[in-house]
Amino acid sequence: MNKYSEKQLEIADGEELDESLYGDIKIYYCFIKYFKDRRYVNYATMKTNLLIMIIIFLLLPSVNWAADPFSFDQREAMLNISLYSTVDLLGYLYSSNMIDALEVDQIEALSEKDVPFFDRWSNKEYASQYDYLSSYLVAVSLLPPLYYAGIDGFFGWENILVVSEILTAQLALANWTKYLTLRTRPYLYHDNYKIKPGIESRFSFYSAHTSTAFSMAVFNHYYQHHASYRNEKKIWLGYLLAFGVAGCRVAAGKHFFSDVAAGAAAGSLVSYYISRLRSAPGKSQVFIKDNYLGVSWSLP
């Protein structure tokens, strides 16, 4: 005699989803409650678990638990972070000892005719409010990786390492580009510039603020793309924030259009390359989707 009552529900062992949904084949298994034969689930237990899921979604309507999208040698990542940080520090020492600020006569000799025609429209006076706002927006762009690290629990440390590697690599590249190009910032082309020019006024190309914001936007996009429950709003919000940083840098008179365009490209490429390098195809993910818990596998 079957020990299960009529109220017990038979569930399939697996369900294959449309391949176009996430770009690769993902097989989903019900994770509510398995018995030894993996065919029957207790009806009362299922109701209890569904009630728990409803409470979670009421408290956290945008929850996205996609664990461990990365897999790599953590020692290698930490060595790379140390290397990029050292390169950046050497650049700072180089700029402090080898680069001089512009003299007054050099500033007076500057002419807007020296600015490429495609950048002349973005030649703005210094505006401190936009300068500060861009820095605040960059700080906000760093919050999603910390959020993902928190919801990933045990795997959060891997997310932090990937983000740290991205940040140190793109900052070292941006700063060394500034030290080697020595492009004058837009506000120096105006007679009534409001800040005292130092060597920082020669570091216009390219925008490190924009590079950082776009690197985090691409990381956010990459993470969401490989999550079991993709959230389009979070992806576009990251890019909207990055474009806001770029606009503020131009409005502040700190960068020309080409500076922020190059920063966006560099930050995006570095972020995508490192995220792809540290990705984990074929690894399992734990998630909450719709009204059930689940586990997925991305088949290589």
Residue with the bigger pLDDT between 249 and 63: it is: 249
Q: What is d(CA 300, CA 159) in angstroms, rounded to the nearest whole number?
A: 21
Contact criterion met (CB below 8 Å) for 202 and 185:
yes
pLDDT at 280 over 70: no
This prediction has a pTM of: 0.71
The DSSP string of 21-87 is TTSS-EEEEE-S---TTSSEE-HHHHHHHHHHHHHHHHH-TT-------B---HHHHHHHHHHHHHH
Q: Is 218 helix (H, G, I), strand (E, B) or coil?
A: helix
CA separation for the pair 256, 8 (Å, rounded): 67
Tally of CB atoms within 10 A around 62: 9
Dihedral sign, Cα of residue 44, residue 50, residue 53, residue 59: negative
Residue 165: how many CB atoms within 10 A of its CB?
25
At 287, give phi and psi (nearest 5°): -150, 165
Q: What is the rounded distance in angstroms from the CA atom of residue 156 to the CA atom of residue 144?
A: 12
Structure-block tokens of residue 136? 């605040």
pLDDT in tens, 193-238: 656 678 888 999 999 999 999 999 999 888 887 765 566 777 888 8
Domain with residues 74-277, CATH architecture: Up-down Bundle (1.20)
Q: Which amino acid is at 52?
A: I
Report the half-sphere exposure of 4 (CA within 13 A, side-chain side): 15
Could you tell me whether strands 15-16 and 292-298 are parallel, antiparallel, or unpaired per DSSP bridges?
A: unpaired
Q: Which residues of 96-117 are buried (b: 16+ CB within 10 A; e: fewer)?
A: eeeeeebeeeebeeeeeeebee
pLDDT tens-digit series, residues 118-157: 999 988 888 889 999 999 999 999 887 777 766 665 567 8
Which DSSP category does 297 fall into? E
Task: Tell me what the mean pLDDT of segment 80-89 comes to.
Answer: 96
Q: Encode pLDDT of 4-58 as tens digits.
A: 344 333 444 444 444 344 333 333 333 333 333 444 445 556 556 555 555 544 4
Domain residue ranges of the chain, discontinuous segments joined by +: 9-61, 74-277
Q: Which residue has the tokens 């697996």?
A: 14
| Whole-angstrom distance, CA of residue 286 vs CA of residue 228 | 8
* 206 preceded by a cis bond (ω within 30 of 0): yes
Average pLDDT over residues 104-114: 85
